[in-house]
Amino acid sequence: MRFFVALEIPSENIAEFQSIQYRLHTLIPQAKLTNVDKIHLTLAFVGEQDEGLKENLITVITSSTNDIPTFEVTPAYIDGFPQIHHPEVLWVGVKGDIDKIHIIRERIKDDLQALRLPVDERRFVPHISVAKLNHSFQIDRNLEVRLEEMMQSNFTPIQITSIKLFESVPEGGLHTHNTLAEIKLI
């Protein structure tokens, strides 16, 4: 199974992400938009592992959320990986209680390392991917300013009430995401 741990974006916030994507697609028509039913904030990508690991991962998530109350984050800015001027992925960064996201993320990393699973050591930036681009696409300063202006709206805070364990299943070149477990915050 191909596992990942993420914060799912509640249905009440999806319309705002659709609006962001609509405006983004108006500015960059060649952007391949992320399917709105797959919009999430990844905390850890575990990758292809034996199905028997599922219970251990549920334990990891449960211990990583110990004493963490529900919290809020709000869409704040747009950026890109590997960088905004030559992005392959455009994403929305969040502000708010991101310290809680970092705490959960670090606890998950520590527990995954204890299970001898590979851990992504790159600097973690809480983000929600909204589009993919051809690797040769470039964003000039004018387009960058327009993307910044696009994010000047007052967005509704996203209520984070749980962390989910997902399975990513390949289907004809795409992936579907199945929820395997949901661990509620206190």
Q: Does 170 score more than 90 pLDDT?
A: no
The domains of the chain, with CATH numbers, are: 2-184 (3.90.1140.10)
Rounded to an integer, the average pLDDT of 174-179 is 90
pLDDT in tens, 125-153: 999 999 999 988 999 999 999 999 999 98
Name the phi and psi angles at 134, rounded to 5: -60, 140
Q: How confident is the model at residue 172 (pLDDT cuts 50, 70, 90)?
A: confident
The sheet carrying 71-81 orders its strands as 32-33, 127-132, 89-96, 71-81, 158-160
Q: Does 40 score more than 80 pLDDT?
A: yes
Rounded Cα distance between 46 and 123, Å, is: 16
- Of 125, 126, 153, 138, give the one whose Cα is nearest residue 17: 153
Q: Which of 5-9, 86-90, 110-114, 171-175 has the lowest mean pLDDT?
A: 171-175
Q: Which residues are catalytic?
A: 40, 127
Rounded to an integer, the average pLDDT of 50-64 is 97
pTM of the model: 0.94
Q: Does 77 score more than 90 pLDDT?
A: yes
SS3 assignment, position 122: coil
Name the phi and psi angles at 110, rounded to 5: -60, -45
